[in-house]
Amino acid sequence: MAAPLEIVILSGSPRRRSYTRSLAHHIGDVLRRDGARVELIDLHETPLPSLDPELRGARNIHPDAGVATLLRAAAAADAYVLASPTYHNSYAGVLKNALDYLSIHDFRYRPVGLAGHGGRSTQAVDHLRQVVRGVLGVSIPTQVCTQESDYAGKAGESGFYDIVDSDIRERIERFAQELLLFAEHMRDLRAAAGSPRQSLR
Ligand X SMILES: Cc1cc2nc3c(=O)[nH]c(=O)nc-3n(C[C@H](O)[C@H](O)[C@H](O)COP(=O)(O)O)c2cc1C
Interface residues with ligand X (CB under 6 A)?
Answer: 13, 15, 18-20, 85-89, 117-119, 121
Task: With beta carbons less than 8 A apart as the criterion, state whether 9 and 38 touch.
Answer: yes
Spatial separation of the C-alpha atoms in residues 46 and 141, rounded to whole Å: 29
Q: Which is nearer to ligand X, 5 or 145 (CB)?
A: 145
| Minimum separation from the CB atom of position 151 to ligand X (A) | 9
Q: Which is nearer to ligand X, 85 or 113 (CB)?
A: 85
Spatial separation of the C-alpha atoms in residues 179 and 142, rounded to whole Å: 9
Distance of alpha carbon 107 from the chain centroid: 11
174 exposure class (CB count in 10 Å sphere: 0-12, 13-18, 19+): exposed
Listed in sequence order, the residues at least 6 apart from 49 whose beta carbon sits closer than 8 Å to its beta carbon are 64, 66, 67
| Minimum separation from the CB atom of position 143 to ligand X (A) | 16
| Minimum separation from the CB atom of position 118 to ligand X (A) | 4
Q: Which is nearer to ligand X, 88 or 154 (CB)?
A: 88
Q: Which is nearer to ligand X, 115 or 176 (CB)?
A: 115
| Minimum separation from the CB atom of position 114 to ligand X (A) | 15
DSSP 195: -
